Amino acid sequence: MIDLDRVTVTYDGASEPSLTDLTLHVPEGELCLVVGPTGTGKTTLLRTVNGLVPHATGGTLRGRVTVGGRDTRTHPPRDLADLVGVVGQDPLAGMVTDVVEEELAYGMESLAIAPDVMRRRVEETLDLLGLVHLRHRPIRSLSGGERQRVAIGAVLAVGPRVLVLDEPTSALDPPAAEEVLAALHRLVHDLGMTVLLAEHRLERVVQFADRVVLLRPGGHPPLIGDPATVLAAAPVAPPVVELGRIGGWSPLPLTVRQARRQAGPLREQLADLRPHRDPAGAGPTLAAARDLVVRYGPTVALRGTSLELRAGETVALMGRNGAGKSSLLSAFTGTVRPAAGQVTVGGLDPAELSGPALISQVGLVPQQPADLLYAPTIAEECAAADDDAGVPGGSCRRLLDRLVPGLDDDHHPRDLSEGQRLALVLAIVLTAAPPVLLLDEPTRGLDLGAKVRLVEILDELTADGRAILLATHDVELVAEVATRTIVLADGEVVADGPTEEVVVGSPAFAPQVSKVLGPGPWLTVSEVADALDVLP
């Protein structure tokens, strides 16, 4: 169904190709997972399949790409729209209507599909992706995760034979991600749809993949094969695979179920041991919300929410899409004014602060990090961040190199991959070293290696007495970095306590290690490795 024959893609002005000599065949009815470090060409590979590369992006494509027998050189994206459906990393960028139901129907209207067929497909898509309750909602009022599900639904409703997805679960809460992936699994196995999917959160996706393509930096040829073979050779892997390496299990597990079947001896070894965890910071309160109420028209996002952030602690904010997490973060920066209640940062109302006074107290990395990028080059963005923060030149660049090393100073920030842009915005915000740091989905688009480096930086910040509040659906990040976890539901706090007490045993928010070794208190592979005195 999808054939790439010795494909090389080089963008104008680039010093090296984004994709080098790739040959790949994806047959009909297969789910092929594309993985690899940030910037290795995953998005470029996906864009070759519907002709966006090179028809819309420019650059030079060598080799041949065919989809369903159509050569993308002679078939631009408009001639592939009935065959290939694409959902990019930024779902809002591809939406053209104002209401969910209209967005689901738009693609079918463009292809002149009969009205009775359109109506049936809209209803089927609403049910398939759990969108019925959102059908009449304005798209602008949706959370990031809800928009992502709508974007996937709008493509599925057209009925393509090939579906191309770039980070489809990155903004979804765990139950919603499972629903979407289960729906894709049914489409592949029951209807023969071909799916090409790029994803960094391997722990969510790998069990559904028939084949994995691992793109590697430095011009090294990709690894292509079944998931177990490729992940066994990969430098980083999901927690269950890393746990299997520690336990010496063969074959290495890909799912929690497989790991639990092999984990009996390891559970016995750990029975009398306890993980070592540094005590949570107990410093002064740096930010607080009291009886906070936030409304958007008739929609109530927060209902009497109260919490405190103390120096030296990292607090994870979890909950389903639309629970109010982003609204709470926005209230702490003063960009959302509460209908009732009070918010303070450093004893001040953030809504009364602006410019240098605000960034000296609180920093926010938003869910759409590109909103903070204005300069034409990475070098100018970093220099501006140094100037705004009043720190020595090169400070921002050093932080960026820790997260994603090797980016060209002259590169335009909007030409970066989603993960690279996120890393740049993280570096810009961290340069000011505010006492309170707010992160909205901070690992969206980051590969596992960059996530490890992010955890190191966050640990350093809390050790230096800062408070961090991160809204995330990344349960593995929470297990690694959060000393305390708060769960929001329908705008209210339903859980607030030490991370191990909140997530262990939770069907939705438990990390893989906890699911494998439960009911024990273990959260991460590194905790297990330290307890056994072995390296992960």
Per the DSSP assignment, residues forming a β-bridge with 439 are: 365, 470
CB proximity list for 506: less than 8 A, separation 6 or greater = none
Cα separation values, 331 from 49, 234, 392, Å: 41, 41, 31
Give 480-492 as a DSSP string. HH-SEEEEEETTE
What would the pLDDT profile of 76-133 be if each residue is shown by its tens digit?
A: 988 998 899 998 877 777 889 999 999 999 989 988 899 999 999 999 999 888 889 9
What would the pLDDT profile of 361-371 be if each residue is shown by its tens digit?
A: 999 988 888 88
Q: Name the amino acid, one letter, at 493.
A: V
For 60, list phi and psi in degrees, rounded to 5. -120, 130
Contact criterion met (CB below 8 Å) for 465 and 489 = no
Cα atoms in the Cβ-side hemisphere of radius 13 Å centred on 445: 26
For 308, list phi and psi in degrees, rounded to 5. -125, 145
Encode 79-121 in three state secondary structure. HCCCCEEEECCCHHHHCCCCEHHHHHHHHHHHCCCCHHHHHHH
Give 318-337 as a DSSP string. E-STTSSHHHHHHHHHTSS-
Task: Report how far Cα 473 is from the mean position of its chain's Cα atoms.
Answer: 8
| Three-state DSSP state, 314 | strand
**pLDDT tens, per residue, the chain with 536 residues:** 999 999 999 988 777 888 899 999 999 999 999 998 877 889 899 999 989 999 888 889 999 999 999 999 999 988 998 899 998 877 777 889 999 999 999 989 988 899 999 999 999 999 888 889 999 999 888 877 788 889 889 988 988 999 999 888 877 788 888 888 888 888 888 888 999 999 888 888 888 999 999 998 877 889 999 998 898 888 778 899 999 988 889 888 999 999 999 999 999 889 888 888 776 556 899 999 999 999 988 889 999 999 999 999 999 999 988 889 999 999 999 988 899 999 999 999 998 887 788 888 999 988 888 888 899 999 999 999 999 888 999 999 999 998 888 888 998 888 887 778 888 998 999 898 899 999 998 888 777 778 888 888 888 889 889 999 999 999 999 999 999 999 999 999 999 999 999 988 788 889 999 999 988 889 999 999 998 886 44
| Three-state DSSP state, 507 | coil
**Spatial distance between the Cα atoms of 47 and 65, rounded to a whole number of angstroms:** 11
Counting every residue written for the chain, the total comes to 536
Six-digit token string for 31: 């789910």
Cα separation values, 332 from 251, 319, 345, 385, 424, Å: 48, 18, 7, 21, 22
For 65, list phi and psi in degrees, rounded to 5. -125, 125
Q: Which residue shows structure tokens 């505010």?
A: 434
